[in-house]
Structures are given as structure tokens and as C-alpha cells.
Amino acid sequence: MGTEMVSVDEIPFPTHITIATKPLSLLGHGITDIEIHFLQIKFTAIGVYLEPEIVGHLQQWKGKPANELAENDDFFEALIAAPVEKFLRIVVIKEIKGSQYGVQLESVVRDRLADADKYEEEEEEALEKIVEFFQSKYMKKNSIITFYFPSTSPTAEIGFSTEGKEESKFKVENANVVDTIKTWYLGGTRGVSATTISCLANTISAELAK
């Protein structure tokens, strides 16, 4: 197990990964990109790994077509809230300074928390530490950013690895910040990658139909 690969924009993603104790399955994948003057610029490829048991927590959406699920933020709220391990593997396509990625993450999370009236000193401190973690990194093509969300605690472990260097890790312990990062990548219509959200909806809709 773990040797099968799925190609996401020519980048290989293993179909299974074990982070803690349970094997997680690749249930969604896609890319982040923008279009400028009809030219598509791709930034990252994303793989979303979840415990297969997550399907048991989403039974109320059984029978719903995938295109309907992709538009349903309540469905993705339930997916985010399900007490299962979640792991994001993000591979860099277009190289970028770590500081740019860190600041982008910070501004998205800060704005969303401020809108929800949850942005206090603790959140600000947690975000500053994330920016600091990415500050010195250089994200060349094929560098890997990971987010591991355990099932039992509202924390996140961020990892970064690039060719020729050891993986560096950082733990985020602010629950509001962790939740907002999950929403940025897994939040349905609020997610950063529509292709990933659509793929997740397709996979889970098919699993629910079994």
C-alpha cells in the first residue's frame, strides 16, 4: 500500500499516506491557479487525504449528486468538523518566496476571522508565527507544504520540505486559526481551489452511493 500514484498536473501523489496510525486515502486533488489575459498560471497541486471513515459522518448527504455537494458549504462544514485525521499535501508548481505564501495565508485567515469577529491578540500572534515559519523558506518547483490536522485536537502541524534540505515543521495551536486554514483549503465555495472541491464532492458522492 502507498505505492500507487495519482498524477495531478503531472505531479505524482500517493493514493494512501499514513501520518500517525491510520492510513489516509487521497479523496480529493486539484490545483490553485489564476488566469491573466487568457493565460493560465498554475501555482500548486493539492492532495487531500482523509480517513475513509469520514463517509460515515456524512450520511445525511447520501444520494445527492456531486455537483450539488460541490456548491453546498454545509456539506463541507460537516467534512471539516468530522472527527477524523486530515492531511493536505501541497506541491509547488510555480516557484515563490516562502514569505509570499506566508503573507497570503495570513491575510486570508486574518480577513476571515475578522469578518467572523474572532480575530483577537492570540490569533494575531499565531499568524505572526506562521509568517515567521515561512519567512526564510524558498519554495522552488516540487517543494512540498503539508498540513496535518489530528482527529483529537484542534491543532495543525505545518511541514515544509524542499530538495536537499530536511523537512521543517511547525505546530499551530490556535483553534480559530486552524479552523480557518481548513476552510481555506476544504471550505466548499470558500475554498482556494475549485478543482479540489469538485473532486472531493465527486469522490465522496460516489462513496456515499455504495
pLDDT at 143: 97
pLDDT at 1: 44
pLDDT one-digit tens code per residue, 22-44:
999 999 999 999 999 999 999 99
Cα–Cα distance for residue pair 22/72, rounded to 1 Å: 28
Asked if residue 30 belongs to a domain, the reply is: yes
Contacts of 37 (CB under 8 A, 6+ apart): none
**Residue 71: which region, alpha, beta or left (left: phi > 0; alpha: psi -120 to 50)?**
alpha
Asked if residue 155 belongs to a domain, the reply is: yes
pLDDT lower than 70: segments of the chain: 1-3
Asked if residue 70 belongs to a domain, the reply is: no
Stretch (H or E) spanning 81: helix 73-81
Q: Tell me, what CATH number does 147's domain have?
A: 3.50.70.10
Asked if residue 191 belongs to a domain, the reply is: no
Asked if residue 128 belongs to a domain, the reply is: yes
Cα–Cα distance for residue pair 108/34, rounded to 1 Å: 16
Asked if residue 112 belongs to a domain, the reply is: yes
Residue at grid coordinates 516562502: 98
pLDDT at 21: 83
Contacts of 82 (CB under 8 A, 6+ apart): 54, 57, 58
Cα–Cα distance for residue pair 191/154, rounded to 1 Å: 19
- Which residues, in sequence order, are bridge partners of residue 34? 41
Cα–Cα distance for residue pair 210/208, rounded to 1 Å: 6
Instruction: Provide the domain limits for residue 132.
Output: 5-53+83-185
Pairing status of strand 86-92 against strand 96-97: unpaired
**Tally of structural domains, the chain:** 1
Q: Please state the pTM of the whole predicted model.
A: 0.96
pLDDT one-digit tens code per residue, 79-115:
999 999 999 999 999 999 999 999 999 999 999 999 9
pLDDT at 2: 43
